[in-house]
Structure 1
């Protein structure tokens, strides 16, 4: 297959969309397909390394569209109108267009795919309506406008892929048709308990404190401010990994925390495995890859009972789910597990057991099945797909009923999730 991936983000940017697109492209190349990535250009001066996938593999072709920074959040780039998109699609002659978290560039990508009569798969990955509320864009009208744009883009696609059950149900509830599940994979060899580093632990917690880690963007929608109570717990050392527009304010709010900035690759894996507990606070996650990476590292997790974490965290089996946006609930959950090393270890072991089969290879093969089915649906032909997928494509109509998030603060022991 010749596949054009139109994405709002790609390395050198570090975020969930960029990472999943790169892993998708890697898998396509390994399976003998021919991907082309079309993405906004990074900030001037940023390095844009070529990507190769093994000896003898050609560089991944990447077309970068002129872009500008999002006001107030320069790490996010917005593609400008450009003829490069149409020219790149015409030159690549794709069999299918893959739209990664489409909104600005993706909207133009679906318009071009429709004009060219090409099948398309739109991958929903960012809760843009929730972001509009978090950033107070247009008040309530901002969220409504975001959903209207999401509906317009995804209704034009051959099928939409959602990363979690709650995300799929949210899309369907807002009028998006033909929704199917496509979770994210995790590299359980890179993220592994064996990378636990005692020297790093001593450097971060010289007094033998319990290490509680957060990994992710430092931005308003992530609600890292909810960790203020955790940072003040006796015998606990909070470690924050990531960067973003809220970094300065969070350093002032969390004076006892250790801020390590951005970490990637083996260094990030070593940090994960060296944590005693991982906590995520963002209530707008459609999946939450960092929770899955922590679980692969054998670390117990605490996360909000909303969105993607509901699919990932087994409450009181691999970690604790807490009321979203509730600082007290987060603090009490962390304090409970910080005081119980045996339960942390049991949760960490169970969490790793849950995710080791969720390899990028397995999820990549499932994506290829979605591609084949989308092409067949578009052309009205029978599906012809030889590789056995890890699971059948599951339309949203067959999904179980949603798990209601905890709306009112409650002690961790009393939450039924």
Structure 2
């Protein structure tokens, strides 16, 4: 049995990639009978428990214009007291930035190993939101956290390279699972398709937040393709603007559970234009649903899409190429079917059980590494062991 303190920069009820992964981890630890404490920024809708585990809501404020983004204002001393009371074997830092740093410092004081999960490219978000000068400052914050962590996990080869290039050590690759029982070609719904595309158009779909970092506006070049119905699943601050930009597209709003699975399985092609993805879980869900994927050739999709076999990767920023790749697949039934079959086969064995078992092995590795930690902390700078540490 292992005792794990999970530190979440965001958590329920706000669903995103970080929350989704944490819920899967919690369910896995619960099934094993492990002990878990969750620390997360306090919100009115934050539950007090999940899967029988206590959720400690910490003082926080919402960012202006983004009420779902809450910044914890807790002191290191408060986190020290909470961790001391729980006595975890390991502290799991989920996409750490503000609360994660406080928990990192608290764990250091108590001598508890930390596993930091790099999942969100916060520095690049600054440039996308019009603050390019903030990017190097935000990378300093990322370095401050991850250079101190006992072990750092990243979901893709691209994300590992980012951390390595910023002088961050003790790296491992930890990917994500996909629920192939929920996301399956069997959920394809012809009645749903007939309602969305009553004239028999091919359905090209996107799933994700409608926010600047996702570059959803790039899909405008697809909306004008003949015999194509663009479907955009999700919600966010840019929805009204995007609806004006792409008046012929169908916006479903947020979908979850079986509704989401049905929508994805009913697509003919899945497109994701975002260049800032460290992984991109919705690509895996589309592939599990037997839907070929077209994505930008940057970030997490590089590991997920086998170009010319399960979909196409296009040159970042080249919207003409993206449009041509979509036209290629919607116009070729045989190729699309072959890509769809290969996509499903590629993710068939990527279960969350296997992924969470790998995480437990990383926890054990961090506990071992913590015994080797120098009294002055981990050294920062050139290292000879990084390549070997990327198992």
Cα deviation 1:111-141 (Å, max 9, x = unaligned): 111111100000000011111111122x33x
Query: Aligned ranges for residues 340-379 of structure 1 at < 5 Å?
Result: 340-379=332-371
CA RMSD across the alignment: 1.7
Q: Structure 2 vs 1, CA of residues 348 and 396 (structure 1 numbering), >3 Å: closer, same or farther?
A: farther
Query: Which residue of structure 1 aligns with residue 71 of structure 2?
Result: 78
SS state at 1:5 partner: strand
- 1:194 and 2:186 equivalent? yes
Displacement of 1:29: 1.4
Partners in 1 of 2:3 and 2:74 — Cα distance? 24
Q: State the partner residue of 1:326.
A: 318
- Structure 1: stretches of 5+ with no match in the other structure: 53-58, 382-394, 401-417
Secondary structure of the residue aligned to 1:61 is: strand
Give the match for residue 257 of structure 2.
265
Q: Which residue of 2 aligns with 1:412?
A: none
For residues 68-217 of structure 1, what are the structure 2 equivalents within 5 Å?
68-82=61-75, 84-137=78-131, 139-140=132-133, 142-217=134-209
SS of match in other structure, 1:397: coil
Distance of aligned partners of 1:396 and 1:302 in 2 relative to their CA distance in 1, 3 Å threshold: farther
Q: Which moved more, 1:77-86 or 1:353-362?
A: 77-86
Q: 1:61 and 2:54 equivalent?
A: yes
Residues 27-65 of structure 1 show CA distances to partners (whole Å, capped at 9, x for unaligned) of 1111221111111123x3x3638433xxxxxx1211111
**Secondary structure in 1 aligned to 2:387?**
helix
Verify the 8 A CA contact 2:40 2:55 in the aligned structure 1: yes
> How far does residue 87 in structure 1 lie from its aligned partner after superposition?
3.3
- 1:301-323 CA deviation, whole Å, 9 max, x = no partner? 00010010000000000000011
Partner of 2:380: none
Cα gap change, 1:235 to 1:84, in 2 (>3 Å)? farther
User: Does structure 2 conserve the Cα–Cα contact (< 8 Å) formed by 1:226 and 1:326?
Assistant: no
Q: Does 1:218 align with 2:218?
A: no
Change over 3 Å in CA distance of 1:49–1:290 after alignment to 2: farther
1:229 pairs with 2:229: no
SS at match of 2:161: helix
In 1, distance between residues paired with 2:388 and 2:180? 29
Are residue 32 (structure 1) and residue 33 (structure 2) matched? yes
CA positional deviation for 1:231: 0.9
CA distance in 2, matches of 1:326, 1:85: 46
Residues 1-12 of structure 1 correspond to what in structure 2 (within 5 A)?
Answer: 1-12=2-13
Q: Quote the Cα distance in structure 1 between the aligned partners of 2:16 and 2:191.
A: 28
Partner secondary structure for residue 370 of structure 2 = helix
Instruction: Name the residue aligned to 1:51.
Output: 50
User: Match of 1:404?
Assistant: none
TM-score, normalising length: structure 2? 0.93
Q: Provide, for residues 309-346 of structure 1, a one-character-per-residue CA deviation record: whole Å limited to 9, x for no partner.
A: 00000000000001113322221111111111211111
Per-residue CA deviations over 1:365-411 (Å, capped at 9, x if unaligned) read 00000000110111249xxxxxxxxxxxxx851599xxxxxxxxxxx
How far apart, in 2, do the equivalents of 1:161 and 1:242 lie? 28
